[in-house]
Amino acid sequence: MSQPRILVIDDEAVIREALRRILESEGYEVLPVASGHAALEKVQSEPFTVVISDLKMPGMSGMEVLKSIKILQPDVPVIIITGYATVETAVDAIKNGAFDYLSKPFTPDQVRELIGKAIDQSNIAKQHGNPGKQEKGFDRFIGNSQAMQKVYNRIMQVAPTDSTVLITGESGTGKELVARAIHDNSSRKDKPFVAVDCTALAETLLESELFGHEKGSFTGAVRTKVGLFKIADGGTLFLDEVSNISLSSQAKLLRVIQEREVTPIGGTKPQPINIRLISATNKSLRELADKGEFREDLYFRLNTIPIDMPPLRDRKGDLALLVGHFLRKFSNEIGKEIKSINPAAMAMLEQYDFPGNVRELEHMIERAVVLAAGDMVAPADLGFLDSELAEAISKGEYIPQTADELKDVKRRLREEAVIPIEKSFVLEALKRNSWNITRAAEEVGMLRPNFQALMKKLQISARDRKFD
């Protein structure tokens, strides 16, 4: 096994040197750097086993470094060091993909123990891929958040059975991926997996597709057609957006499920079937049943085992992994070498709710790769906001000087782009006024309490002054 390589990032030389001595005494190769920007240049071109980064640094914070590394080298454990350790700091870092955190002052033994655990995880990831996702079909999923781990566990619980499964979740969350993973890890994996989009076909055509029809059974039935229930025999039938099936078709579907046999349209002889049925919907079947828009007896049949796919806004810890995956995917497909994403652009993505979920993110990154002028996606490439304003912001050429200007920028930007602009606005006002909060508030045209409230929201305090 090659010698572990540790990247150490801290703006304080004494901390870098202390960590270098501790880690080199353990036989590790150590590369110390003084800033997040310098670290990312290394990560773009060199492999590392573990990264250890200070949280508070000038220019680029440790949290920004963490998010970027999760894009560039997603399997590398990142340890955050902080002198301002709180429960909130730890939770925030771990939510964003940190392996663990270490508070200053630390002892050599604490460093050795934590680095040893991180190296063990790195080795496992290299040998087996993402923990908990070694099973067939799980390579289609991107994400190690707690919400996704629950999904993985439920898939592996239900896959060996023949139980009927109902997958719920908003559009674009990946419900079909769940259905395929269940099939791929079941005893039916060598038999057909047949997916049906229940929104794409009219009622008569849907019944013909599902149940089949005899020649001459209706106008246009020029030949006998085998239905998808029979095609999926021995395997899995996946009914996507099952809530769109009409009530009359629901009655026929319920009978097929109960009797385990299907009669083609125009036919008289039932045909036995042996399938595993999985359904998906972006609506609440319970609510539809209460309103009489979905058969309650069918709902109970379909909902034997429920699996809920979390929306992307509830698994933001997976965002950097997803962004990195799509950057690599579309860079290869389009033939462009896009190495990373500008921190300001990443901040915009983090503040966005993604109503279209992972599918929307995928399309957004594809567009950004196409539009990117250099080797890094800029805020303007995301299509979030006014193109001229976006370009000025991405180049650091424009920061609001007054409260009225900030209000105008917020009006022109979507909400997800506001926070990094607000932060620049506050920090620049404080710098211009030597960190006198009263004078800074007066200069920008805000009341001191309102200015302080904005500082609190952005987690800006006097200790940030040392980074000027």
Mean pLDDT of 153-165: 90
CATH of the domain at 103: 3.40.50.2300
The alpha carbon torsion through 392, 417, 345, 151 (nearest 10 deg) reads -170
Q: Where a domain ends, among 102, 128, 154?
A: 128
CATH of the domain at 420: 1.10.8.60
- Claim to verify: residue 186 and residue 300 sit in the same structural domain: yes
Task: Give the pLDDT of residue 393.
Answer: 63
pLDDT, tens only, 435-449: 999 999 988 888 888
pTM, full prediction: 0.66
Mean pLDDT of 366-393: 76
Query: Which of 25-29, 249-253, 270-274, 348-352 is the least confident region?
Result: 348-352
Task: Give the pLDDT of residue 390.
Answer: 60
- Claim to verify: residue 219 and residue 292 sit in the same structural domain: yes
- Claim to verify: residue 422 and residue 364 sit in the same structural domain: yes
3-state SS, residue 355 = coil
- Claim to verify: residue 23 and residue 167 sit in the same structural domain: no
Q: What is the DSSP letter of 265?
A: B
When divided into structural domains, the chain yields a total of 3
Q: How confident is the model at residue 412 (pLDDT cuts 50, 70, 90)?
A: low
pLDDT, tens only, 109-132: 999 999 998 888 777 655 544 444
Query: Which of 133-147, 259-273, 342-356, 368-382 is the least confident region?
Result: 133-147
Task: Give the pLDDT of residue 132.
Answer: 45
- Claim to verify: residue 362 and residue 278 sit in the same structural domain: no
- Selection from 277-291, 344-358, 374-388 with the highest mean pLDDT: 277-291
Domain interval for residue 105: 5-128
- What separation, in Å, do the N-terminal and C-terminal C-alpha atoms of the chain show? 43
Task: Give the pLDDT of residue 3.
Answer: 85
Contacts of 45 (CB under 8 A, 6+ apart): none
Task: Give the pLDDT of residue 128.
Answer: 44
Task: Give the pLDDT of residue 102.
Answer: 86
- Claim to verify: residue 299 and residue 337 sit in the same structural domain: no
User: Alpha-carbon Rg of the chain, whole angstroms?
Assistant: 27
- Claim to verify: residue 162 and residue 259 sit in the same structural domain: yes
Mean pLDDT of 153-177: 91
- Claim to verify: residue 280 and residue 323 sit in the same structural domain: no
Task: Give the pLDDT of residue 73.
Answer: 84
